[in-house]
Chain A
């Protein structure tokens, strides 16, 4: 059995239309799975549903989220929170709002280790120091005493990555972790996430709209359209021969490194109509 199995998960905006339709998704121990889709396809929603941070306006209407053998949706909130807190972590999208502006970096990394996982303060501080070193922050002892506004966006994202790995989680959800950064920093951050993932053997659910990122980091990927998984493939197979016509069109719409000035192909309307009909009616 997979470490994480999302089975037939459906969700909708309260009193509105569906956001997720019978989503099926698995992440094995140590696997890196990409979750791609266009804006509004619901890719972030899946990550949030797993971690239990869905907006209040969204309700889950059916399905299961089985983490390590337990269906999270059947657990009482407090138990679920502890379970998720002990086994999962989040690398958020926007490093500028993901750190508390009025608390020092050190406290923000160590607090959860001490308060929630019951580490000693000293052990947590040593761990934070070691991790900041791992994400290649020079002078980590000083950074631990600083406030977020004293650091650059790239530095903050490194800190968030360090913080995500701090409690040795089994699964990390990375919610478009490079979208808010500029391209040169993006590449470093991707390398860093990949390196830490490999070293710690953490399973990673990588939410992104960037197929280039997927090809670099992931082993498998799921393609989401309008809240439904339309393709589930190994990355190598996907880039060689995508199974679903929508995936093929999506791939054709991505700029090629080998020929960047070849005309980009927008996803043809016929493909969109077909995939929409498929998603909505069966």
Chain B
């Protein structure tokens, strides 16, 4: 029994550390991109187009992961793409979390007309097809980093609000809330001091999941050319460009795809790992 529990914790620890390691690496790469990248990500070299990665015959060792059809260094573009991917992930997920969690907590704890208002609003909101919604939004306010972040926040706050509303409602029915009220604590005090700490583990999981989702959404929007300008290196943009030359130069597509995959996976595993570690009920 004790041994089994120990093993679960060790596995959870491994998951946590692996994903954290990858994400810390990405943060470092994003911060020090100009020092790490060997080439200018925008520099074209038409004589060095579609060079394969270093271990394939015919490669140029100065382009480690090869070049795309315009002769731009794939590795350097991935490195600079990290900045946009992480920036979008952190900023949009944070805003999504704050808006969604606040509304969810209010609706779930105060109930009554606040709940009716928020819940119906969520129902209506979720009836819009999300991809169409974001494309429309970007068509109206124009493409760019700000539009992507706004699109993610505007679409995904409902995910937070729904889950956190349900959890706040469950916590609000507990006896400890009644005890706090008898002790003389006000509604807001109860919400912040009693309910919030119990909802926090779920918020953390949702937040990291949302960062993963934001990376994907940014990639999707780049893929359909609605992200920032096509010259700027984004993982989604690279995948989109690589798709056209998949038979001649697979590396243009595959390397950004692997990076994207590992990043999204790491975000979700980080969330689960953090929950296992810090939720006192599970601990």
Give me the interface of A with B, judged by CB distance under 8 Å: 48, 51-53, 56, 78, 81-82, 84-86, 88-90, 92-94, 97-103, 108, 111-112, 115-116, 147, 149, 160, 163, 167
Contacts and interface: CB of A to CB of B under 8 A. Distances in A.
Contact of B184 (A48, A85, A102, A103): A85
A92 B184 contact: no
B196 to A, nearest CB: 9
B186 interface: yes
18 contacts: A52-B182, A53-B178, A56-B112, A92-B175, A93-B175, A97-B174, A97-B175, A98-B174, A98-B176, A100-B174, A100-B176, A100-B198, A102-B200, A102-B201, A102-B280, A108-B176, A116-B183, A149-B280
Contacts of B174: 97-98, 100
Nearest to A99: B176
A111 B179 contact: no
A92 B112 contact: no
Contacts of B201: 102
Given A97-B176, A149-B281, A51 B182 contact: yes
A110 B280 CA distance: 20
B interface, over-half SS = helix
B175 A147 contact: no
Given A99-B176, A147-B280, A88 B182 contact: yes
A59 B175 CA distance: 20
Contact of B280 (A82, A90, A101, A167): A101
Interface string B157-195: 000000000000000001110111111111001000110
A103 B281 CA distance: 10
B111 interface: yes
A81 B181 contact: yes
Interface of B: 111-112, 174-176, 178-186, 189, 193-194, 197-198, 200-201, 279-281
A100 to B, nearest CB: 5
Nearest to A50: B182
Nearest to B111: A56
Given A56-B112, A94-B175, A101 B281 contact: yes
Contacts of A112: 180, 183-185
Given A102-B198, A108-B176, 11 more contacts: A52-B181, A52-B182, A53-B182, A78-B186, A84-B184, A90-B178, A92-B178, A100-B194, A112-B180, A112-B184, A112-B185
Given A99-B176, A102-B200, A102-B281, A116 B182 contact: no
Nearest to A173: B182
B198 A116 contact: no
Closest 10 CB pairs of A and B: A85-B184, A98-B175, A112-B183, A102-B197, A116-B184, A90-B182, A100-B176, A97-B175, A97-B174, A92-B175
B176 A85 contact: no
A101 B174 CA distance: 10
Contact of B198 (A98, A101, A115, A149): A101
A90 B181 CA distance: 10
Contacts of A82: 184
B235 to A, nearest CB: 37
A161 to B, nearest CB: 12
A170 B157 CA distance: 47
Nearest to A101: B281
Contacts of A94: 175
Contacts of B280: 101-102, 147, 149
B61 to A, nearest CB: 54
A112 B186 CA distance: 11
A86 B184 contact: yes
Contacts of B178: 48, 51, 53, 90, 92, 98
B186 A81 contact: yes
Contacts of A51: 178, 181-182
Nearest to B195: A100
A149 B182 CA distance: 23
Contacts of A89: 182-183
B180 to A, nearest CB: 8
Contacts of A99: 176
A78 B187 CA distance: 10
Contact of A100 (B182, B186, B189, B197): B197
A51 B179 CA distance: 10
B101 to A, nearest CB: 16
A99 B183 CA distance: 13
Contacts of B198: 100-102
Contacts of B186: 78, 81
A198 B111 CA distance: 41
Nearest to A96: B175
A85 B180 CA distance: 9
A90 B180 CA distance: 10
Nearest to A163: B179
Pick the most buried of B176, B179, B181: most chain A CB atoms within 10 A of its CB: B179
Contacts of B180: 100, 112
